[in-house]
Amino acid sequence: YDRHDLARARRNERQAARHGLRGEIEDPFGGKRLGMRRFLTRTLDELQPLAEALGWSEALAPLRQMAAGAPTTAEQLRRSLRQALGGESLVPEEVLRGLAEARERQVAAEVEQIAAEIPRLGADGQKLQDMLARARDQVRRDPEAPIRFRPPVGSYVQAAYPDTTSEIVDLARRLIRIPSVTMAPPERQRLDGVQRAATFIHDYLQQAGLDVRSFSDGRFPALLASFPGQRSAPVMLCGHFDVVEPDPDDSQFEARLEGDYLWGRGAADMKTVVATYMVWMKDQHRHPGEGRAPVSLLLVGNEEIGEGEPSGSPHVLQALAQEGCAPGLLIAGERTGERGDELLGEICLENRGLLRFELVAHGPRGHSGVRAAHGDLSSRLFQARDDLQPFFERWLSLDGQDEWKSQARFPYIQVGEAGVFNVTAEEGLLGVEIRPIPPDDIRGMLNEIRSYSETHALELRMVAAEEGVACAPSNAYLQQLIEAVAEVGKAAPRLGRKLPATSARFAPGGQGIVWGQTGVGPHAPDERHFVPSILPYVRALDAFAARLQPVATTQAGA
């Protein structure tokens, strides 16, 4: 455009704003006077071949109607207003309110339709999907917002997939694209991404017809999904939708399929299993029959940082316990096929616990070169590290013939600021992480550490303190699961023990297990999920559900 073209464009904008489609503009390509409707008709004729090629001809229909003389939205509003006034010039407040409410309903319906169509666009609709997700996340926290930015019930589950695995992989890729990072320094956490993931999951499950309860007492959301009328289901599937930081950069949030593996941050830990649970719950709800399996689904947004803050698994389980609801078996869906090529992972009946705390040394800040300077905080912390070793050896099972043993580490010591040599630090931190196996007594050990801290003028800051768990082999629901996995795998399943701590450690009465799919490199640059392990897991869940239903009916009758 030159300056004359720009001036013409500004004049045309003013004419269109003042007169709408009844106005005349200057032809952008010739400069002659041209009616707006004629210009619109010509433009639509030029777009028609492209619309036909894309299958979007219907989208042009309203514009063609207006070009042929149909009223615009503004003209429709003016016509309604004139009819309501009956010749009067003063507009009553109730008339304006009625027009606004009618327009609000129309916009809400149109946004619902747009939201329902976006998933069908595939990759072309991803940017629109991201924009919609952000808007939806905002309004979900505001019940009074008039436009909810969500599709009608059922729209998320209408897309056609060639098979269940394809559906789950597509859903997992959408989850992976959300940067729901918690395990990072506070300034690099992405709590907006955690909220977006929660909103996405909430809407999917709710639109699938499930009862979805949100827990948002703190910074981290949690969701509990259940079949209608079965919130107190005796079996609970459990997972998390938060992840650690990407490595090396945000490109890890671009999920990709290579051969048998789905790559991306959270693919193995554990968004693919979360997607599996979501699709399975949706399909179970639609399953014909007299009843559905007595299973609920708990998904949390702060597992990677220990679930110490609301709303982690312990907070939700405590709230349910106060309502008289406690699962008889909690299944944490973390990966249990760790070699990378197993079709069915182990069923881990034991899971190590997690103990995290800091010992804090304090001192006055001042010049390091004067006579009155206080002692070196780092020396006190190094001494504390050495002094703690006998406690660990006395209370923990640190020796074993295989990997199944307790573990104690000192992940960090922080004193002072890098580059600041002549100022004594006010505070020094010694980080301690312990992963105890059952039945190590961490309570007794903590009592001794607490006494030691008081004696040596150290502050004890607790972060997490959960013992390891061992599910009773006689647990009836566990036996049903073992039978189901054996049926699908055509052999007795491998029973194992899970080294990394999982949400199973919060299971009421210790009745928690870890049973997931297969993946490689959690928290690593090469994180990936073994796609062939998805379908056997789904089939095992189906077989498990088939066994659970008679059990639930019998118990209800009793």
pLDDT attached to residue 160: 78
What CA–CA distance (Å, rounded) separates 480 from 89? Answer: 75
Cis, bond preceding 152 (omega within 30 deg of 0): no
Q: How much is the pTM?
A: 0.81
- Give the closest residue to 277 by CA, choosing from 546, 552, 534, 513: 534
What CA–CA distance (Å, rounded) separates 532 from 518? Answer: 9
pLDDT attached to residue 555: 44
The per-residue pLDDT for range 365-399, each reduced to its tens digit, is: 888 887 666 678 999 999 999 999 999 999 999 99
Residue 271 DSSP code: I
- DSSP code per residue over 133-174: HHHHHHHHT-TT-S----PPTTGGG-S--SSHHHHHHHHHHH
pLDDT attached to residue 556: 39
pLDDT attached to residue 86: 86
pLDDT attached to residue 290: 55
What CA–CA distance (Å, rounded) separates 434 from 466? Answer: 10
Record the tokens describing residue 489, joined without a space: 């795998």
User: Tokens 């297969």 — which residue?
Assistant: 518
- Give the closest residue to 467 by CA, choosing from 507, 444, 439: 439
User: Tokens 């004419």 — which residue?
Assistant: 15
Along the 558 residues of the chain, how does pLDDT read in single tens digits? 788 899 999 999 999 999 999 999 999 988 899 999 999 999 999 999 999 998 889 999 999 999 999 999 888 888 888 888 888 888 899 988 988 888 899 998 888 888 888 877 766 777 787 888 888 888 877 777 888 888 776 666 566 789 999 999 999 999 999 999 999 999 999 999 999 999 999 999 998 999 999 998 889 999 999 999 888 999 999 999 999 999 999 999 999 999 999 999 999 999 999 999 999 999 999 876 556 789 999 999 999 999 999 999 999 999 999 999 999 999 999 999 999 999 999 999 999 999 999 999 999 988 888 766 667 899 999 999 999 999 999 999 999 778 999 999 999 999 999 999 999 999 999 999 999 999 999 999 999 999 999 999 999 999 999 999 999 999 999 999 999 999 999 999 999 999 999 999 999 999 999 999 999 999 999 999 999 999 999 999 999 999 996 555 444 333
pLDDT attached to residue 551: 53
**Helix, strand, coil percentages for the chain (3-state, nearest 5):** 45, 20, 35
pLDDT attached to residue 88: 86
Run of H or E residues at 333 = none
Please, are residues 62 and 51 in contact by the beta-carbon 8 Å criterion?
no
Run of H or E residues at 476 = helix 476-489
Specify the amino acid at residue 22: R
Q: Which domains, ranges and CATH numbers included, belong to the chain? A: 1-85 (no CATH), 155-352+470-557 (3.40.630.10), 356-467 (3.30.70.360)
Please, are residues 421 and 399 in contact by the beta-carbon 8 Å criterion?
no
